[in-house]
Amino acid sequence: MREDEVLKNVRAIFDYGQSDSALIVGNGDDGAVLGPRSELTVLASDMAVEGIHFNFAWSSAMQVGRKVSAANLADICAMGGWPEYFLVALAFPPSFSGQVLELAKGIKNECQRVGVKVIGGDLSRSNEVVISISAIGRVKRPILRSGAKVGERLFISNLPGFSQAGLSLLKSSSDNQSPAANRARMAHLAPDLDYEKYRKSYEYLSSAIDTSDGLVIDASRIATASGVGIDIRVEALINAPEFSELESASGSRESALESALYGGEDHLLLATSDAQDFGFLEIGQVIKGDGIYLDGVRTKTSGGYQHSW
């Protein structure tokens, strides 16, 4: 297939139908053009590479499209923003050309959950599938990593660890088909993020980060940026209503806790607040000093997912 043809088919999938008075020029020119913007604009970029972020041995092209989209949407939400537009750059080898439209549909499906429109991008040939998305959104009050204050509480939108537990099940080709195991697999393959829950929490948050690399390492990023320490209460994770499900998917309590503390790619909202009862899980305290503590004991922050070269 030639580029013009692929481009035409991909654009047809991304066609957003209804008009948008804020979008002056959409897909199909050298660039897209947005109208004047009275609110602040938030921008983020997230790339996913075959064999690193996803694996077609267990992910469908549609799931990969959903997952990389979710990672970008979560970045915008972690700034206290709401996503509006995507630029999507795709590189793929000839062997993948039969699946590229499924990948595009995955992106489109996730976008439709929050009303995001794909307004541009690029296509290239490559040897491995690479998806790079830039997300554009609006934000009233940016929520930064640096906003945590001593005495506030640490919250997370849901119990973390399911993505890591799912990845372990997939890697070991486990035949565990329990609902808990299948939920964990899905959390890794195409997480079902509750963007509305994220949005409703913004008014309560003093700092926030998307948990892409793991609870401890992402908490340490808030701590470093805010010049504070964070004490995570392990019992709060273990007592979370979903912990038994995570334990069942992980095979042991120990492994479940390891996933909850260090597993990446959940794309939950980890945040600090002086409020309570806004639907998040309370899991710790912002304290004086620096670094991350587990029940008062200082812990290393080198766990969690990091690329290395």
- Size, binding site for a second copy by CB under 8 A: 78
- How near is the Cβ of 149 to a second copy at its closest, in Å? 17
What are the tokens at 241? 């209503």
Using alpha carbons, select from 121, 149, 281, 294 the residue that is nearest to residue 216: 294
Residue 135 interacting with a second copy (CB under 8 A): yes
Q: How far is 148 from 198, CA to CA, in rounded Å? A: 17
- How near is the Cβ of 169 to a second copy at its closest, in Å? 23
Among 10, 88, 159, 219, which residue sits at the site for a second copy (rule: CB under 8 A)?
A: 88
Residue 48 interacting with a second copy (CB under 8 A): yes
Q: How far is 56 from 108, CA to CA, in rounded Å? A: 19
- How near is the Cβ of 86 to a second copy at its closest, in Å? 9
Residue 21 interacting with a second copy (CB under 8 A): no
Dihedral angle at the C-alpha atoms of 15, 16, 20, 23, nearest 10 degrees?
A: -40
Residue 263 interacting with a second copy (CB under 8 A): no
Burial class (CB in 10 A: 0-12, 13-18, 19+), 94: exposed
Residue 154 interacting with a second copy (CB under 8 A): no
- How near is the Cβ of 35 to a second copy at its closest, in Å? 6
Restricting to residues 184-243, name those near a second copy by CB under 8 A.
208-210, 225
Contact 292, 223 (CB under 8 A): yes
Nearer to a second copy, 92 or 204 (CB): 92
- How near is the Cβ of 254 to a second copy at its closest, in Å? 26
Residue 45 interacting with a second copy (CB under 8 A): yes
Show the binding pattern over residues 50-69: x = contacts a second copy (CB under 8 A), - = does not.
-xxx----------------
Q: For residue 170, what is the enclosing H or E element?
A: helix 162-171
- How near is the Cβ of 193 to a second copy at its closest, in Å? 14
What Å distances lie between residue 169 and 17, 48, 59, 137, 263, CA to CA?
40, 21, 13, 35, 13
